[in-house]
Structure formats: structure tokens, C-alpha cells
Amino acid sequence: MNLASLTAVQEWTWLGLKADQWIAVAGGSVGLAGVLVAWRALVHAKRSAKASEDSARAAQKSADEAATISGIERERWHDELTPTDQKEVVGQVEGRLPDVQGLFGTIRVNRVCRVNAVATVRATDVTTTTPITGLPLLLRPNREYRFHIQRLTQGVTVRSEVWFRFWPPIPELDGADWTCQCGRPLSKEATPDGRGHWEVLLPIKLKAL
Ligand SMILES: [Zn+2]
């Protein structure tokens, strides 16, 4: 192995060239100048490959960043479209006689939406849910909807939360055409587990009698 080969072997290690690439350059009856030219060509090729790899990586990175940003935007819009601003349900007890008293609550929405709601009560590790009654399927804004949470009979556990599931309206059926573009299912029927497009859990605050 001559001097040029030795130098090149060191460079080769540093450049991470494969042995067969080097052999392709050094093999045969090329003179020292030829070896150097070929070696420079290889170095150049390596560098260009590295540069285009870098720019491909940079392009991928900015594409990923753009996707993340638009994902964040979509989530922000989704949150902003949550149909209610209510933070609690005021629980009102109605009925004078024990055993015929009922617990009622109200909900207001800020845009036409579909709803399904259940009342829940949590024990240590079990959450019991019961359907509420009196809410229509479709809620409209600027109205207060009153619903029945439960009967308050002797010894019954008072429900502590109302769990609302909201969906955007279905344009053909509900005569309203706003929607959310976050990608979550847009109707109860389109959601295998029945999860709401928005899930809102509101505590029931009993109104002082
Ligand atoms: Zn959404």
C-alpha cells in the first residue's frame, strides 16, 4: 500500500466509506493523481448526499412542525366550539312532600347542538350513572332547558354531577350548518362507544331552599 493509500485509508475511516467503495477507487492501475481525483469525487459525493439528507430532514421537520401547529389550532377551535359555558348545574329540589320530591337542573347552550346527558354519583371506586329526563335531543341557544335529575326518596344517594355529551347538529336534519373540523366523530351514531364530540362534566350545586 503506497502513501496515498495510507492517507486515504485514514480519511476513509473518518468519512465512513465502505471498504468496497475504497477498493473501487484504489484498485486497478490508477496513478496517485487518479486516486486523489477519484477520492475527492467520492468525498464530494458523500458531502452532497449528506447535504440533501440534511435538507430532506429539515423539510420533514418543518412539515412536522406545521402539522403540529395546525393540530394545536384544530384543538383550540374544538375547545372554543364547546356548546356550553356553564361551569355547574344548579340543583333545585321541587315538591313539598317527602318521597315525591324531585331534583331538577337547567342547561344553556351557546349554539345549536345535539345532547345526551346522564346524572352520576361517585362512590369510592364506582361511578353510578342514571339517565336524566326532560332534555330534547336538539338544544338551541338563548333558552334555558330544565331537566329532571332524580327523585329524592328516603335514603337515596343524591347525584353529584351531570355528564353532558354534545355533538354538532346534523345539517340535513337539524337545519343548522355549523360543525367542528377537529376530526372527532360528528354524531352519536358515528361514535362506537357513544362518547360525545364534547364531554362536559358539571357538578350539581344544590340551591339553598
Ligand atoms: Zn371537535
Q: What is the pLDDT of residue 209?
A: 63
Which residue stretches of 16-100 are H helix?
Answer: 19-26, 32-80
- Say whether both 63 and 93 belong to one domain: no
5 pLDDT tier (thresholds 50, 70, 90): very low
- Residues across the chain: 209
Q: Distance, CA 5 to ligand 1 centroid (Å)?
A: 65
Domain count, the chain: 2
**Domain, as residue range, for 11:** 3-80
- Say whether both 75 and 98 belong to one domain: no
Report the predicted TM-score, pTM, of the whole model to 2 decimal places: 0.67
Determine the Cα–Cα distance for residues 101 and 64; give it in Å rounded to an integer: 57
- Say whether both 41 and 120 belong to one domain: no
Q: Distance, CA 140 to ligand 1 centroid (Å)?
A: 18
Determine the Cα–Cα distance for residues 101 and 87; give it in Å rounded to an integer: 25
CB-based contact 115:164 (threshold 8 Å): yes
Q: Distance, CA 74 to ligand 1 centroid (Å)?
A: 8
Q: Distance, CA 175 to ligand 1 centroid (Å)?
A: 19
- Say whether both 98 and 143 belong to one domain: yes
- Say whether both 93 and 115 belong to one domain: yes
Q: Distance, CA 68 to ligand 1 centroid (Å)?
A: 16
Least confident of 145-149, 174-178, 182-186: 174-178
Q: Distance, CA 180 to ligand 1 centroid (Å)?
A: 5
Please give the C-alpha separations between residue 27 and each of 4, 21, 81, 101, in angstroms, as whole numbers: 12, 10, 70, 99
- Say whether both 134 and 183 belong to one domain: yes
Q: Distance, CA 87 to ligand 1 centroid (Å)?
A: 19
